[in-house]
């Protein structure tokens, strides 16, 4: 019970932006809210169409989701609601089992919203806000590019006025497109082209203007003036723009069928939200709490499912416009939702005259703007591994499905990350007499003399279960190549992390060198690492005489354990301590 109340208290924490609300901030948020409302009006219809839902469900999501996220999330400027990528994922998850737009499809979408919210809440309450750090940005680049192309292809049937297969079946789609070209409806093509051209021109010349709304208005006017009524299909009347409360109709079979897709959508939503929140925080200076943002997104979807919303996340476009319009607090998102509701009460009947080809033209523009060509070029020219991640994600989206694309991209990015961390650098060093302080450097790289009896190795990277076998092979290689150097000083300064298998490897190496008549000394000065070494019994097994806080202490101790008979005939004398050994001379090099 105590744990339950602790979780509730973490959800119901007082928003940190309340103290920033002033008359001045309210005026700024009101203006930003009005700007955002005009932007989301056409987006609500367009994104709902992408998701396979009637327009009103896009409006419900654009009104309820941002309000909840504003009070429970972390970012002061990110605006939640329907997004292109999430809408495409919803359609991909449901279209194979339900007819788009049907009652069953809508019910499944609402259940999906609840599941997405629950997954996001669990991740937030488990303090896994840093989880998105392990997913390469190239995953999102590849996924969004693939989703954008699929979205654009899905709108060709409306823009051309012909019946086409779903673009997820790419071969059949291309064949169907080729066969349908003679049947293209000139009126549909003209209206779609007008909407696309006007939307592009407004965005280019007046970036802050509501280009999608203007494009829809112009294309609708052109349709009414230039073409006969009935020559193209229209959106039709919107039943209701007022969100209403309803409990999702849950069933075990539906939950099991949708759980995998819900988790993929939850991850994409969190990646979108965190990417946007962090990008804006770099401009605003706000510190974003990843765990709190997870909770905010989870609450917005979980609560939204009871008000007929489909899954949403933070929007790149609306969040950027919100910040540029001067928003000071999340109240701007609340005002935008309120203004949207008021506008819809006035203009909703007019959507009955909006041609579907006009909406297709707007969605084609949305899809085109989703593709970040600059980032794609950056990935292709700078990193082969990131290129592979983006390519696999993109091809999976185009040839398999969007849900699988997310999993494949995340899996590949984690696999490459683990492969990299599993092969840390283990170098052998020696003092460089050409430097003022005889700095320790890589012996092989700088062709430095080494002590005939002591090998000094340094690990740069984590010492954990994933790197143990690689490091064991490296230690055996050093042992084989330097058989006479029976004493080892192992510098653990570069270790970022160590676990029990890593600690066991240190104990194993110490035992091997003791059996060969040598010794193993560990040097580190990191308090956290020393604490872990004590917990994993490394300090007990090595004894305090073999653990040192500096290289100087380690060398001073090891030189008392070496074979002084060998030292007597040694001409290298590379350490300061060599001066006190038998037969040392005044000409000895001192490190």
133 exposure class (CB count in 10 Å sphere: 0-12, 13-18, 19+): exposed
> Where do the domains of the chain lie?
2-239+250-417, 425-580
SS3 percent helix, strand, coil of the chain, rounded to 5, is 65, 5, 25
Pairwise CA distance, residues 360 & 75, whole Å: 32
Collapse the DSSP code of 80 into the 3-class scheme (helix H, G, I; strand E, B; otherwise coil) and give the result: strand
- pLDDT in single tens digits along all 591 residues of the chain: 554 455 565 565 667 777 878 888 888 888 888 878 877 877 888 889 889 999 899 999 999 999 999 998 888 888 999 988 899 889 988 988 888 889 999 999 999 999 999 999 999 888 877 777 777 778 878 887 888 888 888 888 888 888 888 787 788 888 888 888 888 888 888 999 998 998 889 888 887 777 778 888 888 888 888 877 777 888 777 777 888 888 888 888 888 888 988 998 998 888 888 888 877 787 777 778 888 889 999 999 999 999 999 999 988 778 877 887 778 888 999 999 999 898 888 877 777 788 888 888 888 887 888 788 888 999 988 888 889 999 998 999 888 877 788 788 888 888 888 888 888 888 898 888 888 777 888 888 888 888 888 899 998 888 889 899 999 999 999 999 999 999 999 998 767 678 899 999 999 999 999 999 999 999 988 888 888 888 898 888 988 889 998 888 888 888 888 888 888 888 878 887 777 767 644 444 434
What pLDDT is attached to residue 486? 92
Q: Which pLDDT value is given to residue 590?
A: 37
Residue closest to 77 by CA, chosen among 252, 323, 318, 245: 323
Q: Are 40 and 341 in contact (CB under 8 A)?
A: no
Of 259, 264, 276, which is closest to residue 408 (Cα–Cα)? Answer: 264
Both structure tokens of 407: 């999993």
Phi, psi of 590 (to 5 degrees): -115, 130
Which residue(s) pair with 489 in the sheet? 456, 521
Q: Is 52 left (phi over 0), alpha (psi -120 to 50) or beta?
A: left
Alpha-helical regions (H) of 305-352: 316-324, 331-347
pLDDT at 372: 83
Identify the residue whose tokens are 């707007």: 362
d(C-alpha 451, C-alpha 431), whole Å = 10
Q: Report the alpha-carbon distance of residue 319 to residue 36 in Å, rounded.
A: 9
- Find all residues with CB under 8 Å of 97, minimum gap 6, and list them: 108, 257
> Token pair of 392, please?
């696999």
Fold of 425-580: Transcription Regulator spoIIAA (3.30.750)
- To the nearest 10 degrees (0 to 180), the angle between helices 211-226 and 356-370 is 150
Other CB atoms within 10 A of residue 472 CB:
13
Burial status of residue 228 (CB atoms within 10 A of its CB: 0-12, 13-18, 19 or more): exposed
- Total H helices, total E strands in the chain: 25, 8
Q: How far, CA to CA in Å, does 365 sit from each of 53, 198, 280, 358?
A: 20, 10, 24, 11
283 burial (CB, 10 Å; 0-12 / 13-18 / 19+) is exposed
pLDDT of residue 149: 87
Instruction: Round to whole Å and give the CA distance between 394 and 402.
Output: 9
Rounded CA gap, 358 and 339, in Å?
24
Euclidean distance between CA atoms 185 and 156, whole angstroms: 12
- Which residue in 469, 475, 466, 468 sits closest to 426, CA to CA? 475
- The pLDDT score that the predictor gives to residue 1 is 52
467 touches 440 (CB < 8 A) = no
Question: pTM value?
Answer: 0.72
Question: What pLDDT is attached to residue 587?
Answer: 45
φ/ψ of 80, rounded to 5, equals: -90, 170
Q: How high is the pLDDT of residue 67?
A: 94
* Centroid of chain to Cα 549: 39
Distance CA 434, CA 41 (A): 70
Report d(CA 391, CA 144) in Å as an integer. 12
- Alpha-carbon distance values, 483 to 86, 103, 145, 454, 475 (Å): 60, 76, 55, 10, 11
Q: Does residue 58 sit in helix, strand or coil?
A: helix
């Amino acid at each position: 019970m105590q744990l339950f109340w602790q979780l509730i208290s973490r959800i119901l924490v007082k928003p940190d932006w309340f103290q920033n609300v002033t008359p001045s901030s309210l005026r700024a948020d009101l203006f930003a809210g009005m700007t955002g409302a005009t932007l989301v009006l056409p987006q609500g219809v367009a994104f709902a169409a992408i998701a396979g839902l009637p327009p009103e469900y896009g409006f419900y999501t654009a009104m309820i989701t941002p309000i909840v996220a504003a009070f429970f999330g972390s970012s002061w400027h990110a605006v939640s609601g329907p997004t292109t990528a999430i809408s495409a994922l919803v359609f991909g998850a449901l279209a194979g089992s339900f007819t788009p737009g049907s009652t069953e499809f809508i019910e499944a979408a609402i259940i999906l919203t609840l599941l997405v919210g629950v997954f996001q809440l669990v991740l937030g309450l488990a303090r896994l806000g840093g989880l998105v750090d392990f997913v390469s940005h190239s995953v999102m680049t590849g996924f969004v590019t693939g989703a954008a192309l699929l979205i654009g292809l899905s709108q060709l049937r409306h823009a051309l006025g012909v019946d086409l297969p779903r673009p997820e079946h790419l071969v059949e789609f291309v064949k169907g497109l080729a066969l349908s070209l003679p049947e293209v409806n000139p009126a549909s093509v003209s209206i779609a082209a007008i909407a696309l051209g006007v939307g592009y021109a407004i965005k280019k010349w007046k970036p802050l203007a509501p280009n999608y709304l203007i494009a829809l208005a112009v294309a609708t006017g052109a349709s009414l003036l230039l073409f006969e009524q009935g020559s193209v299909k229209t959106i039709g009347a919107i039943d209701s723009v007022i969100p209403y409360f309803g409990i999702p109709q849950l069933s075990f079979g539906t939950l099991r069928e949708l759980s995998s897709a819900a988790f993929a959508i939850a991850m994409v939503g969190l990646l979108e939200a965190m990417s946007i929140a962090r990008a804006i925080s770099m401009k605003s200076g706000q510190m974003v709490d990843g765990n709190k943002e997870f909770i905010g997104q989870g609450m917005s979807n979980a609560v939204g499912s009871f008000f007929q919303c489909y899954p949403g996340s933070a929007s790149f476009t609306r969040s950027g416009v919100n910040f540029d319009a001067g928003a000071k607090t999340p109240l701007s998102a609340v005002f935008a939702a309120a203004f949207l509701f008021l506008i819809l009460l006035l203009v909703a009947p007019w959507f009955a005259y909006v041609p579907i080809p006009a909406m297709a033209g707007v969605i084609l523009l949305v899809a085109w703007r989703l593709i970040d060509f600059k980032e794609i070029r950056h990935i292709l020219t700078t990193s082969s591994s990131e290129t592979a991640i983006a390519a696999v994600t993109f091809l999976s989206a185009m040839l398999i499905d969007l849900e699988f694309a997310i999993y494949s991209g995340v899996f590949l990015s984690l696999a490459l990350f683990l492969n990299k961390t599993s092969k840390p650098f283990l170098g052998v060093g020696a003092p460089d007499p050409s430097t003022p302080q005889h700095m320790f450097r890589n012996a092989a790289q700088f062709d430095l003399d080494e002590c005939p009896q002591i090998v000094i190795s340094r690990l740069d990277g984590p010492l954990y279960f994933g790197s143990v076998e690689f490091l064991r092979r490296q230690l055996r290689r050093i042992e084989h190549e330097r058989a006479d150097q029976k004493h080892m000083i192992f510098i653990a300064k570069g270790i970022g992390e160590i676990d029990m298998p890593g600690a066991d490897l240190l104990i194993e190496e110490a035992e091997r060198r003791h059996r060969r008549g040598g010794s193993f000394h560990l040097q580190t000065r990191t308090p956290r690492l020393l604490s872990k070494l004590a917990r994993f019994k490394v300090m007990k097994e090595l004894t305090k005489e073999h653990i040192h806080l500096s290289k100087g202490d380690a060398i001073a101790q090891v030189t008392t354990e070496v074979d002084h008979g060998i030292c007597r005939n040694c001409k290298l004398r590379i350490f300061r301590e060599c001066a006190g050994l038998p037969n040392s001379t005044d000409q000895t090099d001192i490190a």
